[in-house]
Amino acid sequence: MNWAEIIVQALKDWDTSLIAYVPDISIDQVTRLIDDDPFFHLVSATREEEAIGIAVGAYAVGRNAAVFMQSSGFGNTLNAVASLCIPYRTPIPMFINMRGGPGEFNIAQVAMGRTTKPILDLLGLVHFTFDDDHRMGEILDGALKLCHAGRQPVALCLTRMLHGGKVA
Amino acid sequence: MLRFEATQLILKHAGNRPIVANLGPTTDELWHAQHRDRNFYTYGNMGLCSSLALGMAVSTSEQVISLDGDGSLLMNLGTIATIGREQPKNLIVVVWDNEMWDQTGHQQSHTALGTDLEQVAKSCGITHTATVIDLEELETVFRTALEGDGPWFIVAKTEQSEYMPVSPIEPEMTLYRFRNSFSS
């Protein structure tokens, strides 16, 4: 399995069938697989905090849900994560394409990309970074288990080293 | 119409259907009208009431009711487009439209100055829409919405009213009670 297939398998293993996202050229490799698979319902949100609301709504009626976004979009989710996911205790895995690292071509992506993990730390949320697919299935399975055990969001940070990234 | 009386009217017809309430007075009035496990009270999550209801509607076969507000929905108009895109037949959005940000000092909202949320919903592909100005109209439209397919988008014009005491509820318990009611 490649990294995108590993993510799809982990979502299935954790019966996570509602996926809310804002499109991104790199994670498109995953969301295209999800869109083609009848196991999933992929909801295209207009903004990342809306995706969080949709995912929490699904979880609230008993369906596991995850979100996909870019690190810039993570900036758009902050009040939703802080005022909804954390106080209500909802285990929403957040798959984040990390911009602003090695190979970045766009200055506007740098600050949000580089502050994503410090912000997650300030919120007290656990995050895992994937630079390659070595033991990725094992780590992802453990991350999703932790997410549900703690009933808090867990961030899965996907770097350009993993997925190839956007090339200017 | 008074929002509290309109909330009581919604509850009278809602049966055991899940209801998501917008933050602040809408949540407080829902609690005072009738506390029930199927009430999802929101607090600081501005603008996300109908997004939560949308996530529920695409994940359960039951009808889901969103009690949103004009100010909150204006923060997240995109979710109306997502509802139009998803077309969940089991979603009923009711917008309490008092044409102001009441809690922050009664500042006029955009709906006081021309923004027509029903027209926004229509232009997003939601075909079942209405704007109602009194309890009788609301009751007629809401009962119609309950009996057929949606999504429905109902703008209910409300008056300014005194606040009720803040409801004594905890987010974690709200989620726990609400979610457990779907586990059977």
pLDDT of residue A168: 56
Q: Residue B24, by phi and psi: left (phi above 0), alpha (psi -120 to 50) or beta?
A: left
Question: How confident is the model at residue B102, as a pLDDT?
Answer: 87
Structure confidence by residue, pLDDT tens digits, A105-138: 999 999 999 999 999 999 999 999 999 999 999 9
Q: Answer yes or no: CATH 3.40.190.150 is held by domain B3-180.
A: no
Beta pairing, strands B39-41 & A127-130: unpaired
For residue A56, the SS3 value is: helix
Residues 6+ apart with CB under 8 A from B32: B4, B164, B165, B167
CA of B97 vs chain A CAs: smallest distance (Å): 21
Percent of chain B with pLDDT over 70: 99
Which pLDDT value is given to residue B103? 85
Taking each continuous run of H as one helix and of E as one strand, the counts in chain B are: 8, 8
Point out the residue among B44, B55, B183 whose CB comes nearest to the CB of A57. Answer: B55
pLDDT of residue B184: 57
Please tell me if residue B58 touches chain A, with a CB cutoff of 8 Å. yes
DSSP A166: -
According to the model, what pLDDT value does residue B176 have?
97
Using CA of residue A30, residue A144, residue B56, residue B66, what is the dihedral sign? negative
Nearest CA in chain B to A20: B55
Closest chain B C-alpha to A84 CA, distance in angstroms: 6
Nearest CA in chain B to A86: B172
The count of other CB atoms within 10 Å of the CB of residue A123 is: 16
| pLDDT, mean over chain A | 96
**Digit-coded pLDDT (tens) for B50-67:** 999 999 999 999 999 999
Higher-pLDDT residue of A6 and B161 is A6
d(CA B87, CA B150): 7
Looking at chain A from residue 48 to 107, which residues have their Cβ under 8 Å from any Cβ of chain B?
49-50, 52-63, 65, 79-80, 82-84, 87-90
Q: Tell me if residue B122 falls in helix, strand or coil.
A: helix
Digit-coded pLDDT (tens) for B72-131: 999 999 999 999 999 999 999 999 999 999 888 899 999 999 999 999 999 999 999 999
Mean pLDDT (chain B) is 96
Instruction: Bin B33: left if φ > 0, else alpha if -120 < ψ < 50, else beta.
Output: alpha
CB contact under 8 A, B59 and A57: yes
Are B59 and A20 within 8 A, CB to CB?
A: no
Of A43, A79, A84, nearest to B82 by CB-CB distance is A43
Hey, what amino acid is at A20? A
CA distance A16 to A63: 7
Report pLDDT for A165: 81
Task: Report the sign of the C-alpha dihedral through residues A20, B25, B84, B128, in that order.
Answer: positive
Q: What is the pLDDT of residues B13-59, one digit of tens each?
A: 999 999 999 999 999 999 999 999 999 999 888 899 999 999 999 99
Q: Which of A54, A59, A79, A90 to mutate to test the interface with B (most CBs of B within 10 A)?
A: A54
CA pair distance B114, B39, nearest whole angstrom: 32
Mutation choice for A interface testing from B39, B74, B82 by most A CBs within 10 A:
B82
Query: From A44, which residue of chain B is nearest by alpha-carbon distance?
Result: B82
What pLDDT score was predicted for residue B45? 85
Please determine, for residue A141, whether its predicted confidence score (pLDDT) is greater than 70.
Answer: yes
pLDDT for the residue A66: 98
Tell me the domains of chain A and their CATH numbers: 3-99+123-162 (3.40.50.970)
Run of H or E residues at A64: strand A64-70
User: A82 by DSSP, 3-state: which?
Assistant: helix
Task: Work out how many CB contacts closer than 8 A connect A with B.
Answer: 117
pLDDT at position B108, please? 96
pLDDT for residue B2: 97
